[in-house]
Amino acid sequence: MAASVIAGSPRVPKRKRALTHSAPAVVLVGPFLLVLVVAGALPAVYALVESLISSTTGGFAGLSNYLTVITNFRFLPSFGDVGLLLLVWLPIMVVGVVGLALLVDASRGRFGKTMLFVYYIPAALAGITNFMLWLLILDPNVSPIAFFWKALGQTSIDGLLSSPINVIWILAAMLFYEGSGSWLLIVLGGLHSISDEVIEAAEIDGCNQWRLAWRIKLPMIAPWIGYLVLMNFAYGFQIFLEPQLLAAAAQGILSPQWSPNQLSYTYAYSVGNTGAAAALSVILLIITLGLGVLIVTKTGLLERS
């Protein structure tokens, strides 16, 4: 009886069967869809519409808002800033998180659990606390690692942040510190989903821990790594909070338009040109979506699920 229900009785009309089948799916996906529409699609469509309207006349502006932002003197430099940041930070993030996850996974038992706890601590600090901690660490005059900054010849936070390359390294360190703990748990989830039989079979075939990690575990968690790259790429590309607060703390030595998202913020809340702000948001959305699709298709992120 049970088998025939699952297989589907030929007497139930096809359409009705589809509905009964999809009801739980709707319940599961519904709340997500609602949030997606309210917090994702709606603002995106709003931005798209807004980007075509002139802030001064309120009429149709064509592509002039796009032209305004593309020709802005901070447009290319701000993309250069985040591009360089992604180039430095993403590899550190991916190699770091996956490496730590493989290490923790390989050393099960008390030691592994303790190390996991230690790695997770920074992520457990709330965002703003984390940031205060960073300000303390970065100022050579009050830092607990003042000896390190002095050894590098840094005597003030202004001096430290006056070099664009230093800013990139500092932001990369901040982002890794903030994010690695939570991502470690996610990648570990992927590693735990590999069945024990597979591992045992590999070990019987003579795999040592290195080969096991490299040949068996890594390929099997590729979708998780893809997810890691995708989400962090999106965050890094749209970075706003970290450079904004860093600039405020370092008495404005960083450009208030360091990242494209900050440039958009300036247009919206300082210049008062919401059309240009929206146009820049749409540009950011298109780039993030395009690269997102590329990552999803290349890593097979959705295929396994």
Partner 1 sequence: MKFKLAALLAMILPLILVLTGGTSLAKTKPAVTTQSSGPLVLWVDAPRVSAVKAFEKAYPNIKVKMNIINDNIGNDALEGKFQLFNEAGSGWPDAIFTVTNSDISWMTSTKIHYAANLTNLVPKKILNGYAPAANAACHIDGKVMCLRNDDAADVLWYNAKLFKEWGYKVPKTWPQYEALGLKIAKQHPGYYVGLIGDDYTFDRYFWGSGCPANSLVGPNTVKIDLQSPNCTRMVNLLDTLLKAKVLSTAGLFSTASNAVGKKLVMTPGATWYGEFEFNGPWKVPAGEISASSPLVWPGFPYTGDEGGGMWVMSSHISGTLRQDALKFIEFVATNPKNQVNLVPTFPAYGPDEQGWLQKNVVDSHYFVDPQQIVKAFKQAVKMVWTGHPYTEFDPDGIWDTTVVPALEQGKNLKQVWPTYQRELVDYAQLYGYSVKQ
> Which residues form the interface with partner 1 (CB under 8 A)?
37, 41-42, 45-46, 49-50, 53, 58, 72-74, 139-142, 155-159, 161-163, 248, 251-256, 265-266, 268-272
Instruction: Tell me how far CA of residue 114 lies from CA of 9, 108, 120, 192, in angstroms.
Output: 53, 10, 10, 17
SS3 for 195?
A: coil
Instruction: Output DSSP code: residue 8.
Output: -
Least distance from partner 1 to the Cβ atom of residue 159, Å: 5
Residue 60 forms beta bridges with which residues? 53
Q: CB neighbours of 43 closer than 8 A, spacing ≥ 6?
A: none
Could you write out the DSSP letters of every residue in 140-163?
Answer: TTT-TTHHHHHHTT--SHHHHHTS
- Between 156 and 209, CB nearer to partner 1: 156
- Between 233 and 265, CB nearer to partner 1: 265
- Between 96 and 164, CB nearer to partner 1: 164
- Between 44 and 222, CB nearer to partner 1: 44
First to last CA, the chain: 29
Strands (E), 1-115: none
Least distance from partner 1 to the Cβ atom of residue 144, Å: 14
> Do 239 and 261 touch, CB atoms closer than 8 A?
yes
Pairwise CA distance, residues 94 & 96, whole Å: 5
Phi/psi at 237 (nearest 5 deg)? -65, -35
Least distance from partner 1 to the Cβ atom of residue 265, Å: 8
Least distance from partner 1 to the Cβ atom of residue 220, Å: 31
Least distance from partner 1 to the Cβ atom of residue 76, Å: 13
Residue 53 forms beta bridges with which residues? 60
- Between 142 and 289, CB nearer to partner 1: 142
Least distance from partner 1 to the Cβ atom of residue 103, Å: 38
- Between 100 and 254, CB nearer to partner 1: 254
Least distance from partner 1 to the Cβ atom of residue 171, Å: 16
- Between 3 and 73, CB nearer to partner 1: 73
Least distance from partner 1 to the Cβ atom of residue 110, Å: 43
Pairwise CA distance, residues 61 & 93, whole Å: 41
What angle in degrees, to the nearest 10, is found between the helix axes of 75-106 and 110-124?
160
- Between 45 and 289, CB nearer to partner 1: 45
Task: Give the ranges where 193-253 is alpha helix by DSSP (H).
Answer: 196-204, 209-211, 218-220, 222-237, 241-249
**Distance between alpha carbon 99 and the CA centroid of its chain, in Å?**
18
